[in-house]
A and B are shown apart, each in its own frame.
Chain A
Amino acid sequence: MSIMQYNGGSVIAMKGKECVAIASDLRLGNQALTISCNHEKIFPVSDRVYYGLAGLATDVDTMRQRLRYRVNMYTIKEEREIEPETFARLTSSALYEHRFGPMFVEPVIAGLSKTPSGGVEPFIAAADLIGCLNFAKDFVVAGTASDKLYGVAEGLWEPDLEADDLFETISQTLLNAVDRDAYSGWGAIVHVITKDKVITRKLRGRMD
């Protein structure tokens, strides 16, 4: 088994109409043995940029600390909040620094970028463990249930979903995908990022 599957866990992000959603499961395991059922994998960068890290839990912690450091340095130097796309590039370069001895994490980034006209544009991206970015216009997935997530998301997602419909879509996608994966599950957490607020909800999945 690959080291990427050692702790289990999955993350997904979806675009909506002037909103984005990012969600993850809550399991942390030691191979097939579940250690914790309340392990969050999604972290805020600002109130309109969130990112999730799927993969080896120790590297998730380490990457989170490194990214926090880099974002803080960026914010101090630039005297403004980081844009989601900039954050994606920053994540990518942080991962590529370890090209020949990588951190075993796959990031998923979701945020709202500012348009010149003053509006907001939904942004999502994902990368592999060495920082190869994937900018998608619909959804991005990562983790042990990624193959199932692709399947369900392909069937459920549609363009221009409103915030509450997007919440329903991402929740159903995630719950149904992780139910078919032994290494993910035990409930989920969903963040829907809209223009004026972030809605965070914890979901109870199959607890078996």
Chain B
Amino acid sequence: MDILFGLCGKGFVILAGDTTVAHSIVKMKNDEDKIKTLGPHLAMAYSGEPGDTIQFAEYIERNLRLDQIRNVHERRPEASASWIRSSLASSLRSRRPYSVNILVGGFDISSAAIVEGQEELGGTPKLYWLDYLGTKVEVPFGAHGYGSYFALSLLDRYHDPNASVEEAMGTLKRCIDEVSKRLVVSPSKYKAKIIDKDGVRDIEIPV
């Protein structure tokens, strides 16, 4: 069962996911990147049914790319997340729905999203929690999979919306360590991405 985390800090969002691909009781792979970059300031972490996840993630990726080619202005995170939601919601009532859970992390660089007095941040970080039913909710932090049972209560206590990147990575590390300590079948490796005004990039999880 995949584990995803996401949290907002001051001027950035961090997405993290484990890297294991499991078939039944066997680990098939240990370096799978479950976070897709969808645009200059947008990324999504996905988990769920193995075939569905990749199929759906690529469908979203290519359609958002097409949108990027067609339009001059960058699509805002809210609009992208809403479109992903409606894709999931219409899939739910189809013959065979996608069973994919998603965390969408974005950085809104539109002028409306620049907070007065915090112009240097260059916008607002956004994080959306979506499940396979098409439930969409904007959250300051979120998690999917078994990790959510451990991490959400931990994040309730330690999450700080004004945290620096180092502090936020420390909080993320706490979540990962808690899962490693308490979950019977805990994954060994995680990959994380950060989204801020400069775009999407990989970030090393502290040891």
Contact = CB atoms under 8 A, between A and B. Distances in A.
A192 B134 CA distance: 31
A178 to B, nearest CB: 19
B83 interface: no
A134 interface: no
Interface string B121-143: 00000000101011111110010
Nearest to A30: B131
B139 A36 contact: yes
B92 A36 contact: no
B89 interface: yes
Contact of A35 (B88, B133, B139): B139
B93 interface: yes
A36 B136 contact: no
Interface stretch (A55-63, A85-93, A110-118): A55-63
Interface residues of B, number: 19
A36 B130 CA distance: 12
A30 B133 CA distance: 11
A57 B92 contact: no
A21 interface: no
Nearest to B134: A58
Main secondary structure on B side of the interface with A: mixed
A35 B129 contact: yes
A33 B137 contact: no
A129 to B, nearest CB: 15
A108 B148 CA distance: 32
B125 to A, nearest CB: 16
Contact of A58 (B89, B142, B148, B149): B89
Given A33-B149, A35-B129, A36-B129, A61 B134 contact: yes
A82 interface: no
Given A30-B131, A61-B85, A61-B89, A36 B137 contact: yes
A65 B131 CA distance: 18
Nearest to B131: A30
A39 B152 contact: no
A197 to B, nearest CB: 26
A54 interface: no
B137 A35 contact: yes
A144 interface: no
Interface of B: 85-86, 88-89, 92-93, 129, 131, 133-139, 142, 148-149, 152
10 contacts: A33-B152, A34-B152, A35-B139, A36-B139, A58-B85, A58-B88, A58-B133, A61-B136, A62-B86, A62-B89
